[in-house]
Amino acid sequence: MQTNRLGASDLMVTEIGFGCMTVGTDEAKAVPLIQEALDLGINFLDTSDLYDAGRNEELVGKAIQGRRDKVILATKVGNRRIPGQEGWVWDPSKAYILSAVKDSLRRLQTDYIDLYQLHGGTLDDPIDETIEAFEQLKREGVIRHYGISSIRPNVIREYAARSSIVSVMNQYSILDRRAEEEVLPLLLEQGISVIARGPVASGALAENKNVTKGYLDHSVEEIAAVREKLASMVDNTRSMSQLAIRYSLSHPAVATVIPGASSREQLLQNIEAANVPPLTKEEIAAIRSFSKANRYEQHR
């Protein structure tokens, strides 16, 4: 599988990664699914301390035992659970980051994290303090590199200008092209890679999907119209979801996509996208002609 450099780092990630959030909490199903992804050539796994209250990190940790050196492991921090309370609170403080990383390392059964990501971010955060925490962890060898997971253009601009982030995780698909106007050009210019999540738009661009609800600012009818146009571009060499994954990979700022999978069938479909030829300029232009160039109206 093709690998791409993540920003200015020494991390070479497969263009198809695995967003592990979707594997569930059953160890007997989740661990073999993650291991099969690795066996089939994926080297980039993304998780978070937030997913299933840390259970997802535990499962990823079990799956990578004996092959840690073959895996580019990414997790996230910033959402703090308070014992006895429902949900979580946002906490990008240095103290919390330095504390939370220890719990992630324990659950992941490793002594270092390849890519540690801030799981959100606002302009009201103590950004310099947050950056200081990640830089300290880098110096200590606890993490190799860091990035942020954000869809907010102004927050992304701040970190691009003030930190040494190597990546931004951003939702990007045919049905969510918001990043194309501001975020992707900025990151491409700065040499910061995009990790594209949601390439299949929560299943709205999956095969044989009966779409019953909207997605972002798309109505059910609008999604059906896009699917109908995409169907004319599907043939025996590529499915609709693979076409969608290739679209997310078509922008030069994108280093990897991380589609999720809760079954072996979905995983194999995702991985096979690596063997599908890249979209041509004409195909990209055609897709953009019949899909919305939606724009960030909030989170600016």
pLDDT in tens, 169-191: 999 999 999 999 999 999 999 99
Is the four-CA dihedral 292, 287, 157, 3 of positive or negative sign?
positive
Write down the pLDDT at residue 43.
Answer: 97
**pLDDT > 70? residue 219:** yes
**pLDDT > 80? residue 300:** no
Compute the distance between CA of residue 149 and CA of residue 153 in angstroms, rounded to an integer.
Answer: 11
> Which two three-digit tokens encode residue 195?
């990790």
Q: What is the pLDDT of residues 92-115, one digit of tens each?
A: 999 999 999 999 999 999 999 999
Q: What are phi and psi of 138, to 5 degrees?
A: -65, -50
C-alpha dist (Å) from residue 261 to 199, 223, 254, 269: 12, 21, 20, 9
The pLDDT mean for the chain works out to: 93
Cβ–Cβ under 8 Å, residues 119 and 89: no
Cα-Cα end-to-end distance for the chain: 36
Q: Which of 44-48, 123-127, 205-209 has the lowest mean pLDDT?
A: 205-209
CA torsion 284-286-287-292 (nearest 10°) is 120
Q: What is the pLDDT of residues 28-53, one digit of tens each?
A: 999 999 999 999 999 999 999 887 77
Coil/strand/helix, residue 76 = strand
Write down the pLDDT at residue 88.
Answer: 79
Compute the distance between CA of residue 98 and CA of residue 72 in angstroms, rounded to an integer.
Answer: 21
Query: Which residues make Cβ contacts (< 8 Å) with residue 57, sequence separation at least 6?
Result: 47, 48, 49, 51, 75, 104, 107, 108
Cβ–Cβ under 8 Å, residues 223 and 248: no
Write down the pLDDT at residue 299.
Answer: 64
The pairs formed by 98-103 with CB atoms below 8 angstroms and a separation of 24 or more are 98/133, 98/136, 98/137, 100/49, 101/77, 101/137, 101/142, 101/143, 103/49, 103/54
Compute the distance between CA of residue 78 and CA of residue 119 in angstroms, rounded to an integer.
Answer: 5
* pLDDT band at 220; cut points 50, 70, 90: very high
**pLDDT > 80? residue 132:** yes
Write down the pLDDT at residue 36.
Answer: 96
**pLDDT > 80? residue 87:** no
| DSSP character string of 215-275 | BTTB-HHHHHHHHHHHHTT-BTTB-HHHHHHHHHHHSTTEEEE--B-SSHHHHHHHHHGGG
Percent of the chain with pLDDT over 70: 99
For strands 18-19 and 12-14, give the pairing: unpaired
Write down the pLDDT at residue 51.
Answer: 77
Write down the pLDDT at residue 5.
Answer: 98
> Which two three-digit tokens encode residue 78?
């910033």
Q: Which fold has domain 3-290?
A: TIM Barrel (3.20.20)
Number of residues assigned to the chain: 300
Q: What is the DSSP letter of 127?
A: H
The residue with greater pLDDT, 12 or 81, is: 12
Which residue type is seen at 109? Answer: Q
Nearest to 150 by CA among 49, 256, 76, 43: 76
pTM recorded for the entire structure: 0.94
**pLDDT > 90? residue 210:** no
* pLDDT band at 296; cut points 50, 70, 90: confident
- Domain residue spans of the chain: 3-290
Q: What is the pLDDT of residues 228-272, one digit of tens each?
A: 999 999 998 999 999 999 999 999 999 999 998 889 999 999 999
Of the candidates 51, 116, 215, 247, the residue annotated as catalytic is 51
Compute the distance between CA of residue 166 and CA of residue 191 in angstroms, rounded to an integer.
Answer: 8
Which residue type is seen at 37? Answer: A
Cβ–Cβ under 8 Å, residues 172 and 194: yes
172 classed as catalytic: no
